Amino acid sequence: MALSKMDIPRTAQHFLECGIEECERNCEFYCNPCHQRLCKQCSEEHLKSPENKNHEVVLYQQRKRQLPVEKCKIHPTKDVDMLCEVCQIPVCSKCATQREHRGHTFTDLETIYADKYADFQEEIFKIQEYFLPTSQDIQKEIKKDSSQIKHLMDNIRTCMNTEGETLKSLVDTVISENMKQLDQIEHSLLEDQNTQDKTMDDYNNYLNNLVKELHRCLSSTETQKLMSETKPKIRSIPETTKPVKPGFTAGQYNKSDVSELLGKIHLPNTKAEKREIRPIESVYNTAMKPIHKQMKEDRKSSDKKHTMSLSASVTKVREFNVPGVDSVYHVSLYQSKRLWISDDAGNLVQTDLQGNVIQKIKTSGFRGYHTVTQDRDLIFTDIDKKVINRITKDNKITEFMKTADLEPYSIHSSHINRDVLVGMRKEEQGKVTRYNKTGKELQNIQRDNKGQGLFILPHYITENINGDICTSDFIKKAVVVVNKSGQHRFSYTGQESEFEPYGICTDVLGHILVCDIYYESPAVHLLYQDGQFLSLLLTQKQGVKYPRSVCVDDENNLYVGQLDTNTLTVYKYLQ
């Protein structure tokens, strides 16, 4: 049951309390038949009572939902709490005694309600974990295919245009060569005709001059002279030739000939292949199990975890200084006796639990920019170069992967499957990318199912025991949690008017711990796995004035780092 902001007192230690009168311990369990909140001790006492020995006591998060109170319309003083199996209508206990229901069988309505609630939870689970992600994957595939189709069509268009231009070029070349040949023929023919024309012109001049000379002789008055003139011999007309005129044979072609030259568009003679839909059984082993049955199985498989519980108060165990850093902005657990600690100036040091420095390197990162893998390699981001580096156990620094044009702010190595989760940002848009342990990109998480951006600046990131990805977004002023499929589960925005989240981690019970650095109410918030507020775990009363980082080790010790001090404080809050 989530507490509203009005329900939260000003004291730092306020848990969801046990429902037993005068018991002030925090609630962890729930009796389904009694609908009673119980602490660990009271749950044991509750089951010791003979009348309660068969009661089902479960973890509070796995409680059976109580039947909503509904008054009978026929008997307003009675609650509707039974179902007539014959009439299939809800009735009260008094209705069951009436004549119209005589001899009928009745079922506890609360049991049916709980089963229905579990059934609907199961359907929601199916939708969120299988149907919606699978449908979205298919939609992404469709969009990818559409993009590929457009790209293919553009390539074909380019090819067709190139073919056309090539043919046009060949046509232009052939026409140009034919024109050149025609010009040469024309020049040769005209030159020959001009020569013949000049020959005839000379011959005509010769004839005209000869006529003049003969007229002159005829006009002479001297008969003797005319008689002495010899009859002229006229030169023969020069021979000339007619030109051999070229011809032109038009090309014999049609549209189909051109189509053959330019190529054709064709579709394969095959049927469209159906898209593969992954079977629902492949998503998770538990996906198809009813939620209420799965809860029981989960309880059996995690009895060891459930032996842990929240303490009634938080106890400071010890504190130590970390040389080489000015503040403690982020803590990564290296092994049970070693820690990696960084400040906001890029100083990154490895220490033991007494604060003795084992190794120190200079980086360009700040906030939640480093993590330790299960192979004990340190991975850290370089925002300036947009790369992620790895330091192996033999202290060799290598480039793990590049993040293109995105700035990698936060990183976390999964203890569930060894994947690497990276919180990144470009301009005003943030996203979380999942890589496998070799650096291959597996998943991008950026928007919710309405298309809205989930992140702006995911500067701290971690993973919960159920696979949820928990991010601390300083600009969005929220803890944003998505499930392992990338579906938005919830966003936590604090309990006051302002909330400025920083360092974040989870514990063995699935609690979410997050630093709030708002100057008027700095604190470490404790949340249930599903986002319900549980308590202000640490506040100024415990000396936490500038919380920046939180980390829980294998022995359930809580490490808290702060601004302007290199002191790391260790607390116990689980027992």
- Residue partners of 414: CB distance under 8 A and separation at least 6: 420, 421, 463
> pTM above 0.85?
no
99 belongs to a structural domain = no
E-assigned strand segments in 219-329: 310-321
Residue 388, both tokens: 């992620």
**What are φ and ψ of residue 549, in 5° steps?**
-145, 150
Question: Where does residue 479 rank: exposed (0-12), middle (13-18), buried (19+ CB within 10 A)?
Answer: buried
Q: Given this model, what pLDDT does residue 273 score?
A: 81
Adjacency order of strands within the sheet including 512-516:
501-506, 512-516, 523-527, 533-538
> Three-state DSSP class for 522?
coil
The total of structural domains in the chain comes to 1
CA distance 471 to 434: 13
Strand partners, 390: 379, 398
Domain extent for 204: 113-230+254-280
Cα end-to-end distance, the chain, whole Å: 23
Question: Where does residue 75 rank: exposed (0-12), middle (13-18), buried (19+ CB within 10 A)?
Answer: middle
pLDDT digit string (tens) for the chain, length 575 residues: 333 333 333 333 445 788 888 888 888 888 988 888 998 889 988 988 888 888 888 888 778 777 888 899 999 999 888 889 889 999 988 888 888 888 888 888 887 887 888 788 788 888 888 888 888 889 998 999 899 999 989 988 988 898 889 889 988 998 999 899 999 999 999 999 999 999 999 999 999 998 988 888 888 777 776 777 778 888 899 998 998 888 888 887 788 877 877 777 777 777 878 888 878 765 544 444 444 454 444 444 444 444 567 776 799 999 999 999 999 999 998 877 899 999 999 999 999 988 999 999 999 888 899 999 988 899 999 999 999 999 987 788 899 999 988 999 999 999 888 899 999 998 889 999 999 988 899 899 999 888 899 999 999 999 998 889 999 999 999 999 999 888 999 999 998 779 999 999 999 888 999 999 998 999 999 999 888 898 899 999 988 999 999 999 988 999 999 999 999 999 999 87
What is the DSSP track for 88-118?
TEEEETTGGGSGGGTT--EEEHHHHHHHHHH
Q: Given this model, what pLDDT does residue 307 score?
A: 55
DSSP 64: P
Q: Given this model, what pLDDT does residue 428 score?
A: 84
Q: Given this model, what pLDDT does residue 331 score?
A: 96
Q: How far is CA 574 from CA 19, 519, 556, in A?
A: 20, 27, 7
CA distance 313 to 24: 11
Query: Which of 78, 130, 138 has its CA nearest to residue 109?
Result: 78
Q: Given this model, what pLDDT does residue 150 score?
A: 92
Q: Given this model, what pLDDT does residue 504 score?
A: 98
**What are φ and ψ of residue 204, in 5° steps?**
-65, -40
354 belongs to a structural domain = no
Adjacency order of strands within the sheet including 441-445:
407-413, 420-426, 429-435, 441-445
